[in-house]
Amino acid sequence: MVMAWNREIRLDRRDLIAGGLAASAAALATAAAPAARAAEPAPTTVVPPDIMKGVEAWSGSLAVQAATYAAPMVAMYLLRDATCFKPGAKAKPNAIWRIENIATPEIAAQSGYVTPNVNVVYGFGFMDLAAEPIILSAPDSRGRYYMIEVCDMWTNAFAYPAGGPSGYAGGTFALVGPGWKGQLPPDVTRIDCPTRWIELQPRVFVKDQADLAGAEAVLSAITVKGLAERRGGPAPAPADYRYEAPKIAPNVASSQLLFDDPLQFWSIFTATMNENPPPAAEVEAVLPMFKYLGIELGKPWKPEAVNPAVLAEMKQAAAGVGKLMAANVAIRDSLQGGWAIPPGNVGMPGADYLTRAIIAVVGLTANTVEQAIYYNGLLDSEGAPLTGAKRYTATFSQPMTYIEPVPPGFWSLTMYDNVTKLTVTNPIDRYSLGASDPIKRDADGSFTLYIQRESPGADKESNWLPAPAGPFYLILRNYAPAPAAVKAIASGVAFKGPPSLVPVG
């Protein structure tokens, strides 16, 4: 069906209603036309411009909502690709890649992990639970802070075998995929996983380079093996993975979703969703809307079967979803003194798809607030975006509930380039300041940090957090936060947050 613009058609009210419905139906019917008809001469349907504008407006709105829904899964696909499949990948499926050093800008760029925490050593591992459960062993850290976050392919942090309220004594756990019916050894704790693929992300606290060996020992003791291997039997035959190779912008975190061809966003999303379906409630209530975009559970996405006008809107939505989600932090969070105070559903947002997508773009695999609270520093005290063209001070004074942890938890403030979303190269190799640093404090425990591109002077350098030349943002993290902070965040009750950044020149 070929649609033609006709600016000279004049219709009365009755014709407009009847003709509008017919024209709209004709415009949308293109998406469902069998491919075999492509060789036939295509009849022309005249679609009035106002009707066509309505189709474009509605399909554009739907495409934005679909991109919001899809972005977390696409971000996880890209992280899995970087970890497991692309040339130079770090760990095969069902193995853990251990980043046995702090996340310098170079290391973070290699991992494809946005907004990394430099006060932990990380592990990344994608587990394929299709064939059998994976057995996870976690150590007793003997007082060192660590956690193991388990995320599904929709980025929900649905389990924590270790860390925060789960403790640090470790244990043995069976990660069980959907539909598995076998028997588990009696000495393991079962964790039912909502998707075939899941991601394990251990984080182990490290004070500095001198402390690295101790952190690495805990990280190395976090291990995985298949159930068959655990029992001493033969492993299942290796899977033949034939996933689409993503083509994305280089030198930018993959979760920014900057595809060379934005339409690849949709093919990747649909294929990944088919392998890792959403909850049944979403299959019934959400997915039917997306059929107008050619997206249906269990079927491949075929761009040639989508109405060209709709396809154009889908391309535009996919191209801009990363930037759009970053901008909407201001809608999702409450803003206090230039800091975005997160809602209580971070990590497990349920049907709050906006929060889920924002987190995927600006802080992929963020934890639940019971495990960690993240405050995003976006603006200065005058409401202007943060930039290395200015110098700032931030004075932390009592009470500081917002950064109070439950031992062995900790807090830290980290600097990120607002273009790459990675840590910032600087002359003193300092990417954060926090509880483990020798910050100069006043007698009452208060302290002032100097946030700027160049050194504030030798007497203040202990409290200096270097900034890039251009735009930046900060993340203040509290790992294993005190119950008072968790309660305030989860209930939405206002509380005193981090201090504003005050421009000083």
Of 378-382, 385-389, 486-490, which gets the smallest average pLDDT? Answer: 486-490
13 has pLDDT over 60: no
Task: In whole angstroms, give the CA distance from residue 160 to residue 140.
Answer: 15
Task: In whole angstroms, give the CA distance from residue 78 to residue 264.
Answer: 12
Task: In whole angstroms, give the CA distance from residue 459 to residue 316.
Answer: 51
State which of 274, 309, 327 marks the end of a domain.
Answer: 327
| 278 shares a domain with 162 | no
| 293 shares a domain with 277 | yes
Residue 55: predicted pLDDT: 87
| 349 shares a domain with 265 | no
Task: In whole angstroms, give the CA distance from residue 498 to residue 433.
Answer: 14
For 484, residues 6+ apart whose C-beta sits below 8 A from its C-beta are 401, 404
Residue with tokens 């949709």: 266
For 130, residues 6+ apart whose C-beta sits below 8 A from its C-beta are 177, 196, 239
Report yes or no on 141 lying in a domain. Answer: yes
Report yes or no on 87 lying in a domain. Answer: no
What is the span of the domain harbouring residue 395? 331-503
Cis peptide before 399 (omega within 30 of 0): yes
Task: In whole angstroms, give the CA distance from residue 425 to residue 285.
Answer: 46
- Residue 73: beta bridge partners? none
State which of 203, 230, 257 marks the end of a domain.
Answer: 230
Task: In whole angstroms, give the CA distance from residue 480 to residue 406.
Answer: 6
| 404 shares a domain with 307 | no
Report yes or no on 44 lying in a domain. Answer: no
Report yes or no on 473 lying in a domain. Answer: yes
Report yes or no on 264 lying in a domain. Answer: yes
Q: How many domains does the chain have?
A: 3
Report yes or no on 424 lying in a domain. Answer: yes
| 458 shares a domain with 391 | yes
Residue 439: predicted pLDDT: 97
Burial class (CB in 10 A: 0-12, 13-18, 19+), 300: exposed
| 361 shares a domain with 225 | no
> Alpha carbon of 88 to those of 92, 117, 372, 441: distances in Å?
11, 23, 31, 45
| 473 shares a domain with 348 | yes
| 158 shares a domain with 139 | yes
| 260 shares a domain with 195 | no
12 has pLDDT over 50: no
Report yes or no on 427 lying in a domain. Answer: yes
CATH number where 248 lies? 1.10.3360
* Lookup: tokens for 495: 């509380």
| 410 shares a domain with 462 | yes
Residue (of 309, 283, 285) closest to 296 by Cα position: 283
| 340 shares a domain with 301 | no
Residue 45: predicted pLDDT: 61
State which of 327, 348, 373 marks the end of a domain.
Answer: 327
Residue 37: predicted pLDDT: 44
| 146 shares a domain with 253 | no
pLDDT digits (tens, 9 = 90+) for 257-312: 999 999 999 999 999 999 999 999 999 999 999 999 999 999 999 999 999 999 99
Residue type, 288: P
Residue 211: predicted pLDDT: 92
16 has pLDDT over 60: no
Q: Which is more confident, 4 or 152?
A: 152
CATH number where 378 lies? 2.60.120.600
Q: Which is more confident, 495 or 429?
A: 429
